[in-house]
A = this chain, B = another copy of it.
Amino acid sequence: MNYRAVETTEEYVARLETGADWRAEIESLAEAVDADAAWFTALGAVQDAELWFYDQDECEYHPVEFDEPLEVASCTGNVSRLEGDRFAHTHVVLSDDEGTAYAGHLNEATIWAGEVHMRAFEEPLAREYDETTELDLWL
């Protein structure tokens, strides 16, 4: 296992803007507060969503799209540097009007309402290519 102690420089709450993109808004928050590494949890609702699923045999993502209003019942993720840019690695659990849950890696989603708690770390986190999983991981 690869672990490190981190120091929280600042802690934030944010309300995401209706109509904007969920993941881009979280990356904008990190940008606004100049955080190169952060951890967040969030909740809210979206107007649509594109989840990505990773095929562990093919080592590639494929998208699953939802074109309907969904609750964001859970959102957990972190901000790191990926090829120089801030990247919010974001996993969510969504639900429809019957309570049925859908979940996975969030690529994009149009915000209806969103509430985020973010802890910004002093130490940067940088992703690099990992040969075993063919994913970009902290190394």
A interface vs B, CB < 8 Å?
Answer: 1-8, 10-18, 20, 25, 28-29, 32-33, 37, 39, 41-43, 45, 47, 51, 53-57, 62, 64, 66, 69, 71-78, 89, 91-105, 112-113, 115-117, 119, 121, 125, 130, 132-133, 135, 137-139
Contacts and interface: CB of A to CB of B under 8 A. Distances in A.
Contacts of A10: 5
A10 B98 CA distance: 37
Contacts of A138: 13, 15, 115
B39 A45 contact: no
A3 B118 CA distance: 10
Contacts of A45: 54, 56
A37 to B, nearest CB: 8
Contact of A12 (B6, B33, B64, B115): B6
Contacts of A132: 18
A15 to B, nearest CB: 4
Contacts of A3: 12-15, 29, 32-33, 116
Nearest to A26: B1
Contacts of A99: 51, 53, 64, 66, 102-104
Contacts of A133: 18, 112-113
A28 B1 CA distance: 8
